[in-house]
Structure 1
Amino acid sequence: MKSLTLITAISLFSPMSFATTIESIDSAANQMDVPALEQLSQQASGYTKAYADYRLAISANLKADSDKANAALEQAVDILKPAEDAESKALLAAVYGMQIGMNPLKGMTLGPKAGSTLDDAADIEPGNPRVLLVRAISAYNTPAIFGGGPGNAIEFSNQAIASYQQPCTDICWGHAEAYTWRGLAKQQLGDQQGALDDWQQALETNPDYGWAKFLLTQAAR
């Protein structure tokens, strides 16, 4: 079950409603608008602040500002570590994964943390779409010899996409992202048309999703 306490706290202390804040963060992230993401992080609290910091870190890193990205990730960790709900644990595992991606030397310590945190999230809410999405991302970035690989990434993406069909009213991010990661996994297996179809489906799910637009543009060159 999602943590009602977490959601209530954010509703009380954030100037914007919970769902509106998530949507605003996604909109800014699609534009890689670092100043807007910084402002949203400052305005939000709890989970939404951690999510804003996660998206801020991704955008800042893509713009070669690793210091800002690392600082945002550390803030997200501090917020998410005490939480006991599946949503927070899934996001924390994603944050750990990004920290490893930015500094592979951290894999020795953060890799097990990410894995155990994600397992905890799955124990709490196994059908949560973001838990399954982060499992897909983890599988994509983990060698097959260690239990990852594109095949497993596709399987978890399939499960995530199916779970995203359920109605959602609060934490709803990641639907288009699930199609995008599945497309990347298909591309890795040599299924270029399957990848293109998934990236197009990502845009049908969210016409403003910048990453899918970028991948389709690159593929057309």
Structure 2
Amino acid sequence: MKKLILSFALSMLSLTAFAQSQYEKIMTEKIAKIETCKTTEDFNALSNDFQRIADKEKGKWQPSYYAAFSQIQKGRILMRENKVTELDAVADQAQKFVDLAEEADKNNSEIYLLQKMIYSLKMMVNPMERYMTFGAKAEETLKKAEQLNPQNPRVTLIKAEDVYFTPEQFGGSKKKGLELFKESLEKFNSFKPKTALDPNWGKSEAEYFIGLEAKK
């Protein structure tokens, strides 16, 4: 009887390990696709993929995080294309996923950073009218993300973006932005994600802006 119980327990452990390895394999493949997505359709499809994983893997924050991140990247493309009237809907969709990620892992710097990015998308629909609301919320959540992990290179990267692209009359500075991009790159060079599935994006963007300024 004891041998039967032991055999059953070992079988369950084996199945659990197999399921976990399959989950990690699928997640790793989907995360890699982030770098290859070019269009809003690409990011929307990827977000849907992560949502399906999140529906199956209850209690894990990463699938919902990447579903939200994919929506945010979709929004950033729309912003570059000046399709700002579509940003509210994208931000609202991303918010649903961020809420699920936060339920699974509270006080996570990475999740707070996505929240900041969602508020920024909301603000960009009409910056003049929304700065005092969504702009203020974005600043507040960015500070929280930094408090939770001062060494998070993505926090410094997003700070660099904000300073770099904000006009000087509103407190922006390309010089200060470049300094922050360099600071973020230093952090990227020493940063190690807790797991293979944790966020590790942003280094190439910091390198791009540093290289861009070096060419001038």
Classify the TM-score, shorter chain.
Answer: 0.5 to 0.7
Give, as a single letter, the amino acid of the residue that structure 2 aligns with 1:92: Q
- Is the Cα contact below 8 Å between 1:60 and 1:69 reproduced in 2? yes
**Aligned equivalent of 2:49:** 43
Aligned to 2:201: 173
**Which stretches in structure 1 are left out of the alignment for 5+ residues?**
1-10, 187-193, 197-221
Provide the C-alpha distance between the structure 1 equivalents of 2:134 and 2:82, rounded to a whole number of angstroms: 22
**Counterparts of 1:146 and 1:177 in 2: how far apart (Å)?**
24
TM-score, scaled relative to structure 2: 0.68
State how far apart, in whole Å, the 2-side matches of 1:19 and 1:163 are. 23
C-alpha separation in 1, matches of 2:31 and 2:98: 16
TM-score of the superposition, structure 1-length normalised? 0.67
Candidates 20, 23, 33, aligned match of 2:29: 20
Match of 2:144 in 1: 120
Q: Distance in 1 between matches of 2:41 and 2:170?
A: 38
Contact 2:87 2:121 in 1 (8 A): no
Cα RMSD (Å) of the superposition?
Answer: 2.8
Q: 1:78 deviation in Å?
A: 3.5
Cα distance in 2, alignment partners of residues 63 and 145 from structure 1: 24
Task: Tell me which amino acid in the other structure corresponds to 2:35.
Answer: D
Indicate the residue corresponding to 1:56 in structure 2. 74
State whether residues 15 and 44 of structure 1, in contact with CA within 8 Å, keep that contact through their aligned partners in structure 2: no
Equivalent position of 2:93 in the other structure: 75
**Residue ranges of structure 2 left out of the alignment (5+ in a row):** 1-19, 52-63
> Cα distance, 1:195 vs. partner?
4.2
- Specify whether residues 128 and 39 from structure 1 end up closer, same or farther in structure 2 by C-alpha distance, changes over 3 A only: same
Cα distance, 1:92 vs structure 2: 1.9
Q: How many residues align?
A: 174
Contact 1:73 1:99 in 2 (8 A): yes
Structure 1 distance, partners of 2:24, 2:87, is 24
Larger radius of gyration: 2
Tell me, in whole angstroms, the C-alpha distance in 2 between the residues paired with 1:16 and 1:96: 32
Q: Is the 8 A contact 2:108 2:148 kept in 1?
A: yes
